[in-house]
Structure 1
Amino acid sequence: MKIIATNLGEPKEIVYKKKKVTTGIFKFPVDVPVFLDVEKVKNDAICDTKWHGGILQAIYGYSAKHYDFWKPKFPDLDWQFGIFGENLTIEDLDETKIHVGDTFKVGEAILEATLQRNPCYKLGVRFDNMKIVKQFWNTTFCGVYFKVIQTGYVKVGDVFELVKTNPVNPTIADLYHKEKLEKRITNEN
């Protein structure tokens, strides 16, 4: 796995259901190394700190391979890396093979896989189509949140080197399936 794109966003005000909301999901590739800090990528907008950023969700990675699945479903979009709100677009990030606690050295940083990303309406706003939210739930292509064990710069081309694996822990996809099931049960009651 290697970094294909590093993506940053500015705060952007949108209107959703007649309410003004500020979001950082509009991320775009940058041509400079980015600094992975303890709670976020330096110079990246995180507007909803209840659900994004913080120690367990400091960095969001998404697989470049998943783009091949999504592009035919939304052919009219201006496809650029970062469209899923990811900080790092990674060559072949596989949520079914990465376990919670797996640790990677990348660039100057050390990252630990922590959580799945659950989609919300802001992904639909970014795609200008709310169908993406349900479609996103119906895949294992959730992406991976990482905790920053060692801060540092990363850049395009840096390789994720597995430092430690935790095969007894659930995979990120396992967490995602569990969350979907719990959400479905909650909505049925």
Structure 2
Amino acid sequence: MILSTNVAVSQRDPGGADRVSGIDKRPQPFIDVRAPGPSYGDGSGVDGDTVGDSAHHGGAQKAVYAYAREELDYWQAELGRELPNGSFGENLTTVGLDLAAMLVNQRLHIGTAVLEISIVRQPCRTFAAWLGERGWVKRFSQRGRCGAYLRVIAPGRITAGDVIEVVGRPEHDIDMLTAFRAAQGDKEAARSVVAANCLPPLYHRRLVKLVD
């Protein structure tokens, strides 16, 4: 289920870069989603959202970001602080769905929209500065449960409380946990992902270089 739908409140980049940041996401009653252009810099797939780092974010493969409430609860306990919905920069805070076990390219029908699991999130300096936790990039990476970027297959409206319907099944067994390990440099995981040929071309080529 969708617990919360979240949109950015623009601010200066907490990591010190000379740009705005959209990592501060706040709950809204609903979000409208649509497919942005194909490339970084083509903006968010969420109407009214902000993408600050246009060199690495935005575009079709990173149109919408989802993170599980269960993982926010885990980090609340670990960090000893409250983490409201949207705290990790997610547009969709989910509950009752194991995002780490979702297969790459799995389709999800949510509200009137159809989304598709796309690529993993890799923690960055902005994320670390936003949380203000020493060693955050390493700590988050070791956990490995990175949420999921989603592409928009059919535009529509997603409302807090909407059920997430899993539609069909991709013809491979690469889940987000495996894809994250591959993106982090695990060559065994990367070989599996390359063999499945399930990632967009840019990300596939990166892993081919890793395992060559």
TM-score by length of 1: 0.87
Do the aligned partners of residues 80 and 163 (structure 1) sit closer, same or farther apart at CA in structure 2, a change above 3 Å counting? same
Q: Does 1:66 align with 2:65?
A: no
- What SS class does the counterpart of residue 5 from structure 2 fall into? strand
Cα distance in 1 between the residues matched to 2:6 and 2:141: 23
8 Å Cα contact 2:68-2:99 kept in structure 1: no
How big is the shift at 1:51? Answer: 2.2
Higher relative contact order (CA 8 A, sep 6+): 1
8 Å Cα contact 2:120-2:176 kept in structure 1: yes
Q: Does 1:152 align with 2:145?
A: no
What is the RMSD of the two structures over their aligned residues, measured on CA atoms? 2.0
Q: Which runs of 5+ in 2 are unaligned?
A: 37-44, 188-208
- What SS class does the counterpart of residue 178 from structure 1 fall into? helix
Q: Deviation string for 1:166-186 (max 9, x for gaps)?
A: 151411111100111269xx9
Task: Choose which of 135, 138, 143 in structure 2 pairs with 1:134.
Answer: 138
Q: Which runs of 5+ in 1 are unaligned?
A: none
8 Å Cα contact 1:115-1:146 kept in structure 2: yes
Q: What does residue 29 of structure 1 align with?
A: 27
**Residue range with higher mean Cα deviation, 90-99 or 138-147:** 90-99
Cα distance in 1 between the residues matched to 2:156 and 2:14: 35
Cα distance in 1 between the residues matched to 2:171 and 2:76: 32
Higher normalized helix content (fraction of residues): 2
**Residue range with higher mean Cα deviation, 47-56 or 134-143:** 47-56
Q: What does residue 168 of structure 1 align with?
A: 172
- What SS class does the counterpart of residue 174 from structure 2 fall into? coil
Higher normalized strand content (fraction of residues): 1
Cα distance in 1 between the residues matched to 2:96 and 2:136: 21
Letter of the structure 1 residue corresponding to residue 138 of structure 2:
K
Cα distance in 2 between the residues matched to 1:60 and 1:110: 14
- What SS class does the counterpart of residue 104 from structure 1 fall into? strand
Taking only the aligned residue pairs, the percentage that are identical comes to 28
In the TM superposition, structure 1's runs of 4+ consecutive aligned residues that sit over 6 Å from their partners are: none
Cα distance in 1 between the residues matched to 2:134 and 2:88: 13
TM-score by length of 2: 0.79
